[in-house]
Amino acid sequence: MTGVGRPRAVVTGIGLVSSLGRGAGATFEALCAGRSGLRRPPEGHPLHGSGVDVAGIAPDIDATSVLPPSEGRFVDRYALLALAAADDAIADAGLVVGRDVDPLRAAVVVSSGGGGLETYEEQARGRHARGRAAVSPYLLPGMLPNMAAARVAIKYGIRGYSAAIATACAAGAQSVAEALRLIRGGEADVVICGGSDAPLHPTVALAFGNARALAHGFDDPQEASRPFDTRRNGFVLAEGAGVLVVERADLAAARGAAAYAELLGWGATTDAYRPTTPRPDGEGAMACMRRAIADAGLAPADVDYVNTHGTGTKLGDVAEAKAVRAVFGSRSPAVSATKSMTGHLLGGAGAAEAAITALAIAGEVVPATRNLDTVDPACELDHVRGKAREGRVSAAVSNSFAFGGHNLSLVLGPAEGRVRSVTPEGAAR
């Protein structure tokens, strides 16, 4: 149900860059096969020898591959990752701005949890060492968290609404929700939306480490991210980006575009509890999921799958599990946590996981949670373990929860009309 006269929105393009590589198809195939992209920072990486012993490291992105040579200086890695994902998503959708959509009817919402933190750190280090002359005038366009959105808009000539949302680890998911809001409200026909972060440098990584938030003590780095498992002791910090092309359904159909999934609803709440920990009872997350499901015109019993926020922290996983049980009762939908293989992309996570959820709907297969050897009794749900699970997904929830108590849930379902074909290996048959 989409509401009387309310335009529908479909996902027609996906771009993913993460520790599993670049490309939506390859990423989803890896997830369904249970492959992890996590590893120890190699020699020469900024985190090598820092004390952070496992990370999700994305492929290098050559600035000249996503920008003209004259514009590649002082572009932070977070923006390069976002541009690469946006390039892939727009190409995947077969979209040409100016041909398929009026530039003033196209929008960009690409967010970040931290923006160009690496650029800022490098410039601050130079100023301390060499003084005022060491600070580049290009620092601001390099570090500002709106610059990924701005560069996507500039590159593709998108002249409508443009924004970057600063809700930490919920930013990517909230960007997707904003796309749905813009299309429903008649403010845009196409929205390029998503999130990106590149936090793998010592200051930010060590801040998380000193807060005892990071997974540690595992001989095999691919075992470190283990949401809902009894041995979990934190999340694995990762970099990456997820970008989706979201279009008004009737216009996508008119241009012959196929869709992965339909965006059905969204919900947002705030814990109003503590800056860095969730409400222990999961009430904020519970209310958020309920709002999203109601916004989609569905009931909890209609939901087949939940892509959890599932970071692997002691408190967060329990709070989310409580919330899922409160929403769905004794009939738990299938749940999985793909951060067990990608690590936590911070501001990029919610968009990447919305994209993964869309791929699961299109491919009719749900990735399993890796490293879930022994489920914490406080986290009992219908966990997909061992192998990916095949079967139609009629409706799915994708959760993102963030520092500051920001909660964002998205609801997606199968698209009508032309549907994208996704046939990953590794699913349970």
Q: pLDDT class for 381, splitting at 50, 70, 90?
A: very high
Interval 23-61: pLDDT, tens: 999 999 999 999 999 999 999 999 999 999 999 999 999
Q: Are 253 and 407 in contact (CB under 8 A)?
A: no
> What are the phi and psi torsion angles at 177 (to 5°)?
-60, -40
Whether 164 contacts 111, CB under 8 Å: yes
The one catalytic residue among 169, 193, 288, 379: 169
Count of Cβ atoms closer than 10 Å to residue 304 Cβ = 18
Place of tokens 């979990």: 232
Active site residue 216: no
Q: How far apart are CA 299 and CA 125, in angstroms?
A: 53
- Overall average pLDDT of the 236-252 stretch: 98
**Catalytic residue, candidates 201, 344, 383, 406:** 344
Q: Confirm whether 406 is a catalytic residue.
A: no
- 205 token code pair: 């990584």
The rounded Cα 284 to chain-centroid distance in angstroms is 20
Given its phi and psi angles, is residue 386 left (phi above 0), alpha (psi -120 to 50 degrees) or beta? left
* Other CB atoms within 10 A of residue 257 CB: 21
Distance CA 367, CA 231 (A): 21
Q: Is residue 279 over pLDDT 70?
A: yes
The confidence score (pLDDT) of residue 424 equals 72
Contact criterion met (CB below 8 Å) for 184 and 9: yes
Q: Is the pLDDT of residue 426 over 90?
A: no
Spatial distance between the Cα atoms of 63 and 358, rounded to a whole number of angstroms = 29
In this structure, are residues 315 and 379 in contact, taking their beta carbons and an 8 Å threshold? no
DSSP bridge partners of 111: 195
Give the C-alpha separation, 321 to 378, whole Å: 7
The enclosing H or E element of 207 equals: helix 202-210
Average of pLDDT values for 399-427? 89
Closest CA to 399 of 331, 322, 341, 330: 322
Question: Is the pLDDT at 76 greater than 70, yes or no?
Answer: yes
Residue 85 has pLDDT above 60, yes or no: yes
Residue holding tokens 């999700």? 56
Residue type (1 letter), 206: L
Residue 180 has pLDDT above 50, yes or no: yes
Q: Are 252 and 9 in contact (CB under 8 A)?
A: no
- C-alpha–C-alpha distance, residues 406 and 223, integer Å: 28
Q: Kindly report the pTM of this predicted structure.
A: 0.96
Note the pLDDT tens digit of each residue in 144-167. Answer: 999 999 999 999 999 999 999 999
The number of residues making up the chain comes to 429
Average pLDDT, the chain: 95
| Domains of the chain, CATH where assigned | 9-415 (3.40.47.10)
Instruction: Identify the band that residue 425 occupies on the pLDDT scale cut at 50, 70 and 90.
Output: low
Residues 6+ apart with CB under 8 A from 359: 14, 24, 28, 260, 422, 424
Residue 379 falls in the annotated catalytic set:
no
Angstrom distance (rounded) from CA 12 to CA 200: 31
309, 379, 383, 406: which one is catalytic?
A: 309
